[in-house]
Amino acid sequence: MVLWSYGLMNPRRAKHRYHELRMDTKIFVFVKKVVKRGKFKTGQDEYVEKQILPKKTQDIPIGRIPVMVKSVLCNSTEKGECAFDQGGYFVIKGAEKKSWWTIPVHHCTGKTKFFLMETGLEYVPMLTTLLHSLKASSVFNKVNYLVRWKSSEIKITRRYDPVMAVENLHKLKQSKPSKYTFEHLLDQGILELIGIEEEEDYHRMGNQTASERAEELHSLRIGPVLPTGRVLYQSQKHCQQAIGFSSTNPNIRCDTLSQQLFYPQKPLFKTMASECLQKDVLFNVQNAIVAVNVHLGFNQEDSIVMNKASLERGMFRSEQIRSYKADVDSKDSEKSKKMDEVVQFGKTHRKIGRVDSLDDDGFPFVGANMHSGDIVIGRCTESGTDHSVKLKHTERAIVQKVVLSSNDDGKNYAAVSLRQVRSPCLGDKFSSMHGQKGVLGYIEEQENFAFTNQGIVPDIVINPHAFPSRQTPGQLWEAALSKGIACPMQKKKGKSDAYSKLIRHATPFSTPSVDDITDQLHRVGFSRWRNERVYNGRTGEMMRSLIFMGPNFYQRLIHMSEDKVKFRNTGPVHPLTRQPVADMKRFGEIKFGEMERDCLIAHGASANLHERLFTLSDSSQMHICKNCNSVANVIERGASSERRIRGPYCRLCESPDYVVMVNVPYGAKLLYQELFSMGICLNFETNLC
């Protein structure tokens, strides 16, 4: 193999440097003269075109242009040529073959050859020749390196998938086990790297007969057990939303918001993907005993019921750490003294906020209990205007640490981290590793749960109707496999240890089947289909139905009811509609839309509907004339008796005698005013007033 260096060269430089590879030629232009005569000269209805032929051919030379003879020193793959067909020309088929008035030229300097293609232009090289032979001779490397001309950056932009060549699988029997390396299999032609463009043209196979072009290394690459939507839910949403340890140094970080699980655990099973991705380093889940059963109607559909004793022991307990940052400018002591006078550290200041937890420097001390409205970082400007950072609405926490540092620009800033311990409560969201998500519907006492003859009480009870709707049969397989791993069979005389023969891998489409998992459960003393006889916790009687029970890998998500609760008595309203605002940080209200209105109408809750949409929203009053059914105005107007009338007055009837006051939402009043401005007058019936 030959190593080539890469460079750019314009045509003039190539003319002087590679003069032996070029030739000059003239460029001629053929001139044709056509005369168009009108009707006034020919007397005909149409125009006549007459071509005037000169005495000799009108090939006018306009100059000379160098033409490059085909050579390996010129490589112009950006014009659509094959990258393996070395050589190029300055002019081909009348079109100049140049890019930015330069030509890529290769020089022979070593024993390795790189094929470099220009990116950023709309030219795609046609790699149609020598592809299979180059792969067989190991000319291609595993990665393509692209050198951009302008930025000169080396980036890995290609991905190759390894597949097994079916025609060379017989070479595996001839190779020794010590030579089963990736490079050795590539050299022998057993493994073949295919690019993105070749994937559509290759015929792949799983575990069928070797009659296709290529065979996958593992069926996990093309066929998971769960539906694709469930896999995407877990990998994109639930895995990112699960609470755990996102880093190995959470104690020294000052993230804006982070969640940490107190007692993360490792799973009982393993998968090939988790081992390759090293997911066993930081886990964000816990092993819970899950029973598939109904429990007093509190776990309908996707909701779950949890054991109160398990939660009190610390199951799924986490902490939320929120950091507040502010710029710090301490140039002189006079400013800090002025700040002390304004903020009054160590005393209660009602207009600004509670500052009982602040020290003399304006920062809270570690371990202070902060509540809603307390000042986290006290600061003010030179003029004395307060710019303190307050705790957000409905938040409470404990000060974990106070950090003073500087950024890259050299500006000083302060970061105060607040910690809040959170135990699972009603409305919190949980999910299994298979995308079986649901909220906590009820927390039950341990004594009221059903228990097995071994005294095992489940931690979570889930409804059996949740699996068909979410399409998660893998969770049942996981429970059966984990149950067999957790209770291995004891070693017997004359037999090998069953613990070493346990099925621990849960990779889809692997060697263990459903029958192997059921046989493993039967060997360790459980039912073959994972069903168990349980006893009623309330009465102590044996239940007639068998209950499926086993350990599952459950994760707690960041969606908690404490962060989503909204409540208020009175607060800010919108200046136009006079309805409550929608933001919780602004003391807003929960939106009551059309679907909620329809539900109250269906239940016949008219009093609740009136209270929600009128009394607690935008109650207002209007004056209506009973005589003409129009809206009256509250004005001062002179009557015919030249006395001034004060109060509501109807301009159409010119009398205040028939005016009554009605209660309407302010939104209806605003609609009337908008229509009245466009010349549309509405009439209101007031027979019941």
Top pLDDT among 369 and 139 is at 369
Say yes or no: 544 and 572 in one domain: no
Determine if residue 436 is left, alpha or beta; phi over 0 gives left, psi from -120 to 50 gives alpha, anything else beta.
Answer: beta
Average predicted confidence (pLDDT) for the chain: 73
Residue 490 within any structural domain of the chain: yes
Say yes or no: 166 and 152 in one domain: no
Least confident of 543-547, 653-657, 684-688: 684-688
Least confident of 167-181, 356-370, 566-580, 663-677: 167-181
Q: pLDDT above 70 covers what percent of the chain?
A: 61
CA dist., res. 261 & res. 636, Å (int)? 69
Specify the pLDDT at position 565: 80
Cα angle at 136 between 221 and 109, to 5 degrees?
115
126 pLDDT band, cuts 50/70/90, is: very low
pLDDT at 13 over 60: no
pLDDT at 660 over 50: yes
Q: Is 412 strand, coil or helix?
A: strand
The reply to whether 302 belongs to the active site is yes
Q: Which range of residues forms the domain containing residue 66?
A: 3-156
Q: Within a 10 A sphere around the Cβ of 141, how many other Cβ atoms? A: 13
CA dist., res. 314 & res. 261, Å (int)? 10
Residue 412 within any structural domain of the chain: yes
pLDDT at 15 over 60: no
Q: Is 433 strand, coil or helix?
A: coil
> Over the stretch 612-654, which tens digit does the pLDDT of each residue have?
889 888 899 999 998 888 888 887 655 555 556 667 888 888 8
- Residues 426-442 have a mean pLDDT of 91
Cα angle at 44 between 41 and 49, to 5 degrees?
70
Residue identified by tokens 């190539």 is 14
44 pLDDT band, cuts 50/70/90, is: low
> Over the stretch 480-515, which tens digit does the pLDDT of each residue have?
888 888 876 544 444 444 444 666 777 766 667 778
pLDDT at 199 over 80: no
Residue 210 within any structural domain of the chain: yes
Say yes or no: 52 and 13 in one domain: yes
Read off the CATH number of the domain in which 388 is found. Answer: 2.40.50.150
Q: Domain boundary residue among 422, 439, 473?
A: 422
Q: Which of 24, 59, 302, 361 is catalytic?
A: 302
Which two structure tokens, joined as six digits, stand for 639?
């009557």
Residue 243 within any structural domain of the chain: no
Say yes or no: 600 and 660 in one domain: no
Determine if residue 312 is left, alpha or beta; phi over 0 gives left, psi from -120 to 50 gives alpha, anything else beta.
Answer: alpha
pLDDT at 385 over 80: no
> Over the stretch 59-84, which tens digit does the pLDDT of each residue have?
667 666 655 555 555 555 555 556 55
Least confident of 176-190, 418-432, 634-648: 634-648
Which two structure tokens, joined as six digits, stand for 574?
């919108």
Specify the pLDDT at position 14: 47
Residue 685 within any structural domain of the chain: no
- Residues 224-229 have a mean pLDDT of 57
pLDDT at 312 over 90: yes
Read off the CATH number of the domain in which 598 is found. Answer: 3.90.1800.10
Cα angle at 39 between 35 and 45, to 5 degrees?
115
Task: Answer whether 247's CB lies under 8 Å from 253's CB.
Answer: yes
Say yes or no: 484 and 628 in one domain: no
pLDDT at 442 over 80: yes
Task: Answer whether 410's CB lies under 8 Å from 316's CB.
Answer: no
Which two structure tokens, joined as six digits, stand for 551?
């350990």
Say yes or no: 23 and 83 in one domain: yes
> Over the stretch 593-618, which tens digit does the pLDDT of each residue have?
899 999 999 999 999 999 888 988 88
pLDDT at 140 over 60: no
132 pLDDT band, cuts 50/70/90, is: low
Q: pLDDT above 90 covers what percent of the chain?
A: 20
Least confident of 14-23, 290-299, 391-400: 14-23
Say yes or no: 611 and 671 in one domain: no
Specify the pLDDT at position 686: 82
Say yes or no: 445 and 578 in one domain: no
pLDDT at 368 over 50: yes
337 φ, ψ (degrees, to nearest 5) = -65, -40
Specify the pLDDT at position 49: 61
Residue 120 CB-density burial (10 A; 0-12 exposed, 13-18 middle, 19+ buried): exposed
pLDDT at 111 over 70: no
> Over the stretch 260-308, which tens digit does the pLDDT of each residue have?
999 998 888 877 777 777 776 777 889 999 999 998 888 888 899 999 9
Q: Domain boundary residue among 505, 537, 556?
A: 556
What is the crossing angle of helices 514-523 and 474-486, to 10°?
30
Residue 526 within any structural domain of the chain: yes
Helix (H) or strand (E) holding 597: helix 594-603
Top pLDDT among 576 and 344 is at 576
Contacts of residue 652, Cβ cutoff 8 Å, sequence gap at least 6? 625, 628, 630
Task: Answer whether 619's CB lies under 8 Å from 570's CB.
Answer: no
Which two structure tokens, joined as six digits, stand for 463?
């409804």
Q: Which DSSP symbol is given to 388? A: P
Q: Domain boundary residue among 422, 437, 465?
A: 422
pLDDT at 128 over 90: no
Say yes or no: 137 and 90 in one domain: yes
Which two structure tokens, joined as six digits, stand for 236?
């994109």
Residue 561 within any structural domain of the chain: no
Number of domains forming the structure of the chain = 6
Read off the CATH number of the domain in which 448 is found. Answer: 2.40.270.10
Specify the pLDDT at position 525: 78
Say yes or no: 627 and 606 in one domain: no
Residue 683 within any structural domain of the chain: no
Task: Answer whether 596's CB lies under 8 Å from 589's CB.
Answer: no
Q: How far is CA 176 from CA 172, 179, 181, 659, in A?
A: 8, 6, 10, 105
pLDDT at 310 over 50: yes
Specify the pLDDT at position 444: 94
Q: How far is CA 141 from CA 161, 194, 496, in A?
A: 13, 12, 47
Residue of 57, 55, 52 whose CA lies nearest to 36 = 52
Top pLDDT among 659 and 15 is at 659
Most confident of the following: 98-107, 517-526, 544-553 = 544-553
Least confident of 115-124, 396-405, 465-474, 602-611: 115-124
Taken as a whole, the chain contains a residue count of 689
CA dist., res. 317 & res. 315, Å (int)? 5
Specify the pLDDT at position 290: 94
Residue of 430, 437, 433 whose CA lies nearest to 470 = 437
- Give the global pTM: 0.62
Say yes or no: 28 and 130 in one domain: yes
Specify the pLDDT at position 463: 93
CA dist., res. 241 & res. 252, Å (int)? 22
Task: Answer whether 660's CB lies under 8 Å from 624's CB.
Answer: yes
Residue 304 CB-density burial (10 A; 0-12 exposed, 13-18 middle, 19+ buried): buried
Specify the pLDDT at position 185: 80
Say yes or no: 10 and 126 in one domain: yes
